[in-house]
Structure 1
Amino acid sequence: MTATNGQLRRSPLHARHVEAGAKIADFGGWEMPIEYAGGGVIAEHTAVREAVGVFDVSHLGKATVRGPGAADFVNGCLTADLGKIGPGQAQYTLCCDDPTGGVVDDMIAYLYGPDHVFLVPNAANTAEVVRRLQAAAPSGVDVLDRHEAYGVIAVQGPKSAELLGKLDVPSGHDYMSFVESAVAGAEIVVCRTGYTGEHGYELVIPVEHTVEVWDALLAAGEPLGVRRAGLGARDTLRTEMGYPLHGQDLSLDITPVQGRSAWAVGWDKPAFWGRDVLVAERPAPRRRLTGLKAVGRGIPRAHMQVLAGDTVVGEVTSGTFSPTLKTGIGLALIDTAAGVKAGDEVEVDVRGRRQAMIVTTPPFVPSHVR
């Protein structure tokens, strides 16, 4: 994973994406595939919903926290309660700012045991998450940035287990759990996680073996209709689920309580970063993230105003055309004082024209993750 022009990093699969005719763009400081030639976002999205898609998500961060009491240390920093899972399980959690309660990043924590936690934050925020943990770590606990040591491939869709089975990779473990395995000569970690709402897996692979695993997945998946899928499809898939994207639906200015992520907070824990302000905000946040579904042809996009009558009541944070529903959908932060609820009709200012939207509670399409 090398930097280009001293700035953008490249995935270990970069050459494979170029060979496949991918449209490459900057994403979180990485040159990543947005879509591939021969189908584009809608075809890739549909393959994940109906068959199986493989995503290069090697831009995702990786960090290790190791040493006596590492899990207890992480539990006292991040929001979710690691005490509720055991070794071999994973957990969605957030790193919040103290004292504002804003979200520095959201991530997956892999619990290996009381002395070892593996974290997968977002690309652009890995260094900051690591910096904060390092600054707080007690003597004997080491926090290491392992961003460039591993590649990550997501295998998502109703045929994802069948694809892994063709490579003798275990697939029957529970949602949000992980196992160690091997494929194409590489020792890998197979986690039942994903960002699409479909049954799926994320494979954490030593960087030097990522190409071999990618090639093996594509070859084995050909009879199943496998498709390479880029970050464009990843975005439409996650938006249909109502999954938040950090930097848009969660941020230093958007707390977990506001951003529909309060479920990932261990409210009974005595300590975590941002706890006091989040506990105070929980009963009555000033705004909440909600779903919007277009009545007509309008497509909501980030930063567009949401109106009830002539009053601006919120702002779109994420929006797209849903390939599954064939209509515009989005997420928006709505002022709670406006009294807007699910089923109400609001309008979004789409390039100067008001477009009717129905307030909804995501997901927009059924989830199949469990």
Structure 2
Amino acid sequence: MSALLRSPLHERHVALGAKFASFGGWEMPLEYAGGGVLKEHTAVREAAGVFDVSHLGKARVRGAGAAAFVNSCLTNDLGRIAPGKAQYTLCCAENGGVVDDLIAYLLSDDEVFLIPNAANTAEVVRLLTAAAPAGITVTGEHHDWAVLAVQGPQSAAVVAKLGLPALSDYMSFAVSEAGYVVCRTGYTGEHGYELVVPSGAATEVWDALIDAGVQPCGLGARDTLRTEMGYPLHGQDLTLDITPVQARSGWAVGWNKPAFWGRDALVAEKAAGPRRTLRGLELTGRGIPRGHMQVYAGDQLIGETTSGTFSPTRKVGIALALLDTAAAVTEGDLVQIDIRGRRTEARVVKPPFVQTSVR
């Protein structure tokens, strides 16, 4: 653990009895004493929880035409949104594989703030820097900011109590008088906010949230929450070998744009049809699926799970899996997951596995 980076809130996590894990090169809280993943997951679904996600990257692109430049690189179409809005997008390789999925905050035509995943931040910054024309700068600000995700049905009341703008429009953001960026985003499927605050102010904001009765939550609950929603995790459900077309993330691709990284490969794959597709699987009996478990239709191997967990909300095992298109399985069909040598029946379903208040 000693070689791992630490959040500016690390000592707060220690004081709360956090169990730590390595994630994207950072030592981050997995769960806290006095409840664990189940309590933390339930708090987000029913009330409000706060996640320290300061390991997420931060980068800024500035200069005349910065938004147009970013738009020519990343998959989604920034032209669909106005300043003050954020957008989920993908950074793809030329073969269509996903280097990273990230959030782009459009400040103006000349400034875009990006939040990539922790492990991929350096590569995203490198690629953008190498492609940037004269007059446009790409600056890594990974350690300048902390990110706190306040999620759950009561999150709006909590954010308002802190004197911050409790925005109602999904994927909108505002900058507070103190310079905090408040965005109506999250990774849990619940109404929520991500607060991007200067690293030096992180403990003050964290303490205010805990004093307001918000449940501290670790990355264990973040994973069960996002899996229940069918949200992909880079490194598992999206990788350099798994394209947006295969992952059913084509909605985050601006297909009519003339240029973005990986465009030719993705357009060709979309036209031909992917050889495999990401599907939801719900166990019909007992068992907990994990990633990289083989999936069968009868005696035929048809794919592999990419993510899997026990759903605290549904009380059933759930998974995301890449299934061969040629197998022609459809929603409602039964397949089997090889869980530690035992074939366990699962039904093919369309995520999300739970219905929540994301919008």
Shared fold, TM over 0.5: yes
Q: Secondary structure at the match of 1:147?
A: coil
Question: Is the Cα contact below 8 Å between 2:60 and 2:112 reproduced in 1?
Answer: yes
Question: What is the aligned partner in structure 2 of residue 47 from structure 1?
Answer: 43
**Take 1:255 and 1:198, find their aligned partners in 2: how far apart are those partners?**
26
Q: Within 1, Cα distance between the matches of 2:161 and 2:264?
A: 49
Cα offset, 1:170, TM superposition: 1.2
Q: Runs of at least 4 residues of structure 1 off by over 3 A?
A: none
Q: Does 1:368 align with 2:357?
A: yes
Q: Show structure 2 runs of 5+ residues with no match.
A: none
Match of 2:241 in 1: 253
The answer to whether structure 1 residue 87 and structure 2 residue 76 are counterparts is no
Q: 1:218, 1:266 → 2: CA distance?
A: 40
2:151 and 2:190 in contact (8 A); partners too = yes
- Aligned residue for 1:47, secondary structure, equals helix
Cα drift, residue 172 of structure 1: 2.9
Residue type at the aligned position of 1:362: P
Aligned partner (choices 254, 258, 267) of residue 279 of structure 1: 267
Query: What per-residue deviation string (whole Å, max 9, x for no partner) do you get for residues 95-118 of structure 1?
Result: 0001x1000000000000110000
Structure 1 residue aligned with 2:175, among 162, 177, 180? 180
Please name the residue that 2:116 is paired with. Answer: 121
CA deviation vs aligned residue, 1:22-74 (integer Å, no higher than 9, x gap)? 00111000000000000000000000000000000000000000001000000
What is the CA-CA distance between 1:187 and the residue it aligns to? 2.2
2:278 counterpart residue number: 289
In percent, how many aligned pairs have the same letter? 70
Instruction: Give the Cα–Cα distance (whole angstroms) in 2 for the partners of residues 307 and 127 of structure 1.
Output: 38
Whether 2:129 is the aligned partner of 1:134: answer yes
1:298 aligns with 2:293: no
The letter of the residue matching 1:195 is Y
- Residue 287 of structure 1, CA deviation: 0.3
Q: Is the 8 A contact 2:167 2:173 kept in 1?
A: no
User: Where does structure 1 lack aligned partners over 5 or more consecutive residues?
Assistant: none
Which residue does 2:57 correspond to in 1? 61
Deviation string for 1:219-273 (max 9, x for gaps)?
Answer: 12x2xxx210000000000000000000000000000000121100000000000
Q: Deviations over 1:72-95 (max 9, x none)?
A: 000000000000000000000000
1:148 correspondence with 2:140: no
- Give the aligned partner of residue 74 of structure 1: 70
Selected match of 2:216 from 211, 218, 228: 228
Give the drift of 1:217.
Answer: 1.1
Residues 325-359 of structure 1 deviation map (CA, whole Å, 9 limit, x = unaligned):
00100100000000011100000000000000000
| Residue among 188, 193, 200 paired with 2:185 | 193
1:197 is matched by which residue type in structure 2?
G
Match status 1:269 vs 2:257: yes
Deviations 1:181-231 (A, max 9, x none): 14xxx42000000000000000000010001000011112x2xxx210000
TM-score by length of 2: 0.99
Amino acid at match of 1:111: L
Counterpart CA distance in 1 for 2:219 and 2:355 is: 21
1:336 matched residue in structure 2: 325
The answer on 1:38 being equivalent to 2:34 is: yes
AA aligned to 2:275 is: R
2:162 aligned with 1:167: yes
Instruction: Give the TM-score of the pair, scaled to structure 1.
Output: 0.96
Secondary structure of the structure 2 residue equivalent to 1:134: helix
Q: Name the structure 2 match of 1:101.
A: 96
Look up the equivalent residue of 2:43 and give its one-letter code: A
Q: Which amino acid aligns with 1:64?
A: R
CA distance in 1, matches of 2:354, 2:225: 10
Q: d(CA) in 1 for partners of 2:70 and 2:229?
A: 28
